[in-house]
C-alpha cells in the first residue's frame, strides 16, 4: 500500500512541514551538483557511527546526527520520505504548533540516529535520510489519529486502485515491516557494510509514539476546525 492522502483537516498552514520539505529538496539538488564529490560529502555530513562513538576522530561527528537528516541517496529515497511527511506531518504540526513540532521532528531524528549508532557502533558507512525523523511523525500521527482514513494505492491484477484504510493499519504495517527487517539484519553483513538503517526507523518511531501518546493523555481534545482549513492532498 502506498499512501497518497489523508482526510483530517488542519487549522493552520503547516509552514514547518512545508519548510522541511523545501530544505530537503534544495539540499538534494545541491547533492546532484557535487558529482564525484558526493561520497566525500556524505562521509563528512552523514552520520557515521564509528565517528560518533569516537568523536576525537572527527570533532563535528555529533553535529552529523542533525545534518544527516537532510541528505538523501537518490530520488526515490527523497520522494518516499517527503510523501509521508507531506501526508502526515501537517496534522501533527497542527496539534503541536510549529515551534514544538520543529523541536519534535529534530528530536525524533536524533533518537533515530542514536538508535542506529547503538546497533552498529563501529560502522563506517554514513547513515543519511529523513526516514528516522519522518518515522517519528508517523508514530505521533498513529497515536493521535488511529482510526483516521488514509487513501492508499493498492496493487491490483491489472492496475492500481485507491482504497480508504484506517491509519492504524497503514502505519502499523509500516512499523511491522521495519521491525521484521531490522531484526533480520541483526548480525548480518549489511549492518556493517551498508543498506537500510532499519533501527533508525524503529528508534524514530518509538520516540514519536511516546510523544503522541503523551499528547493524547495530556492535551485537551481538539475542537472541530473552522471553515477555512487545510488538508493534505
Distance CA 61, CA 45 (A): 8
**pLDDT of amino acid 181:** 76
Residue 25 maps to a domain: yes
Cβ-proximal residues to 28 (8 Å cutoff; 6+ apart), any chain: 71, 72, 78
Residue 224 lies in a domain: no
Dihedral (CA of 37, 43, 79, 100) sign: negative
The enclosing domain of 194 has a CATH number of 1.20.1540.10
Mean pLDDT (whole number) for 193-222: 81
pLDDT in tens, 158-189: 777 888 899 999 998 888 888 877 766 665 54
CB 72 within 8 A of CB 24: yes
Task: Give the tens place of pLDDT for each residue, 88-108.
Answer: 999 999 999 999 999 999 999
Domain encompassing residue 133: 2-218
pLDDT of residue 197 exceeding 80, the answer is no
The number of distinct structural domains making up the chain is 1
**pTM for this predicted structure:** 0.87
Average pLDDT for 144-165: 85
Contact 12, 230 (CB under 8 A): yes
Beta pairing class for 2-6 and 149-155: antiparallel
The pLDDT value recorded for residue 11 is 87
Amino acid at each position: 500500500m502506498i499512501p497518497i492522502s489523508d482526510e483530517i483537516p488542519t487549522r493552520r498552514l503547516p509552514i514547518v512541514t512545508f519548510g522541511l520539505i523545501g530544505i530537503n529538496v534544495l539540499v538534494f539538488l545541491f547533492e546532484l551538483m557535487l558529482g564525484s564529490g558526493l561520497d566525500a560529502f556524505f562521509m563528512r555530513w552523514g552520520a557515521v557511527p564509528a565517528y560518533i562513538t569516537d568523536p576525537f576522530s572527527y570533532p563535528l561527528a555529533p553535529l552529523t546526527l542533525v545534518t544527516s537528516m537532510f541528505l538523501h541517496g537518490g530520488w526515490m529515497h527523497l520522494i518516499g520520505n517527503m510523501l509521508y511527511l507531506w501526508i502526515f506531518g501537517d496534522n501533527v504540526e497542527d496539534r503541536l504548533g510549529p515551534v514544538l513540532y520543529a523541536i519534535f521532528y529534530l528530536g525524533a531524528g536524533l533518537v533515530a540516529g542514536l538508535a542506529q549508532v547503538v546497533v552498529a557502533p563501529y560502522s563506517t558507512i554514513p547513515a543519511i535520510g529523513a526516514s528516522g525523523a519522518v518515522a517519528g511523525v508517523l508514530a505521533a500521527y498513529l497515536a493521535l489519529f488511529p482510526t483516521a482514513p488514509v487513501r492508499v494505492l493498492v496493487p491490483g491484477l491489472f492496475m492500481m486502485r485507491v482504497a480508504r484504510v484506517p491509519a492504524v493499519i497503514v502505519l502499523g504495517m509500516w512499523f511491522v515491516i521495519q521491525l521484521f527487517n531490522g531484526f533480520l539484519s541483526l548480525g548480518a553483513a549489511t549492518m556493517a557494510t551498508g543498506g537500510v538503517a532499519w533501527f533508525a526507523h524503529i528508534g524514530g518511531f518509538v520516540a514519536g509514539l511516546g510523544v503522541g501518546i503523551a499528547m493524547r493523555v495530556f492535551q485537551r481534545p481538539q475542537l472541530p476546525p473552522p471553515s477555512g482549513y487545510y488538508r493534505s492532498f
